[in-house]
Structure 1
Amino acid sequence: MDKLLVVPINKDVAAGAIFVAFALGFGLISTNYPMGRLAQMGPGYYPALLSAILAVFGIAIGITGFRKGAEKVVVVRPLALIAVLGSPILFAATVRPLGFVPAVILTSLVATIAAPRMTLIQRLGAALVLTLGCTVIFILALGIPLPLLGNWLTF
């Protein structure tokens, strides 16, 4: 079994930092718009106000997090995370030019990168079963009008 990386992380401090980061980002973006004043608000006033409120919440959550102890959290392997989250994007980018069947095969093979203990035969088998199932369900049963082979693969 793979050794999992377990690190102590204070979730409240991390969440507070994320809130503050988003608040700063949206607050900076809102400065590109005229602020106006309270009696006649400009398009940048309300986003700036919401950013300030979000920052206050983030700081409050972070401060309460410092009072608690850190929890042990399992860190996900970055390659596995990228493979799983990138697979739907890869499918969307390849379904028109390659076609439905090659896009499902490619997507499922990329997604299996997240399972390092799978052999090549298991990966190919999973891709084949997934492709057959998706073709039957989406193309034949539901009638979604996607070409089985795309422009890049037809002659």
Structure 2
Amino acid sequence: MQIKSRKDFASGLMFMMVGTAFAIGATNYTVGTAARMGPAYFPLMLGIMLALLGAGVAATSLVSGRPDGAPIGRIAWKPLLLIVGANLAFGVLLGGVQSIGVPAMGLIAAILAVVVISSVASDQFRLRSALVLAVVLAIGSYLTFVLGLNLQFQVWPHFITG
């Protein structure tokens, strides 16, 4: 068979690899059953579903697509690095890095940073829209996780709360 959509085939393979890696990694923990789920149950099922989705996408790429195989374009490095950097910034701001002396800045600062940094990855970036979205997500996250679910997050930096 001939690959009719290289983009779909490559993305299907990527989904299968990531899903399989998560499923294999989840087996290091207790899986449990559907009635009594262990810590590995959700990542295992999610990994299996992602791998199956990837297989479906890869199979579809053999049937439909452009006659020339729709060549894969260049990697968009700027958005890729900004999205990965936004996630790293979220982790650093939320928990800090004690080994190098970076203090935790809290949930609100982490959400503001992740939204603004990841928004810069778009070609249609507007600072005002990103800030409005960041504030709405920060308030929603505070209401959901801190007030609604009573999760123990540091919400503000220590220099504000004391």
- What CA deviation, in whole Å up to 9, does each residue of 1:102-148 have, x standing for no partner? 11111111111111212111111111111111111111112110121
Q: 1:100 to 1:72 in 2, by over 3 A?
A: same
Q: 2:88 maps to what in 1?
A: 89
Map 1:43-122 to 2 at 5 A: 71-96=70-95, 97-122=104-129
- Any stretches of 5+ residues in structure 2 without a counterpart? 1-5, 11-67, 96-103
- Any stretches of 5+ residues in structure 1 without a counterpart? 1-9, 15-68
Residue of 143, 154, 157 corresponding to 1:147: 154
CA distance in 2, matches of 1:76, 1:152: 41
Shift of 1:76: 4.3
Contact 1:95 1:150 in 2 (8 A): no
Higher Cα Rg: structure 1 or 2? 1
Aligned with 1:104: secondary structure?
helix
Contact 1:98 1:153 in 2 (8 A): no
Task: Give aligned-pair identity as a percent.
Answer: 20
The aligned amino acid for 1:140 is L
Contact 1:98 1:152 in 2 (8 A): no
Map 1:20-59 to 2 at 5 A: none
User: Normalised by the size of structure 2, how large is the TM-score?
Assistant: 0.48
- What CA deviation, in whole Å up to 9, does each residue of 1:51-85 have, x standing for no partner? xxxxxxxxxxxxxxxxxx76412434211111112
Correspondence 1:137 to 2:136: no
Shift of 1:86: 2.3
* Equivalences, count: 96
Aligned with 1:137: secondary structure?
helix
Question: Quick check: which one's strand share is greater?
Answer: 1
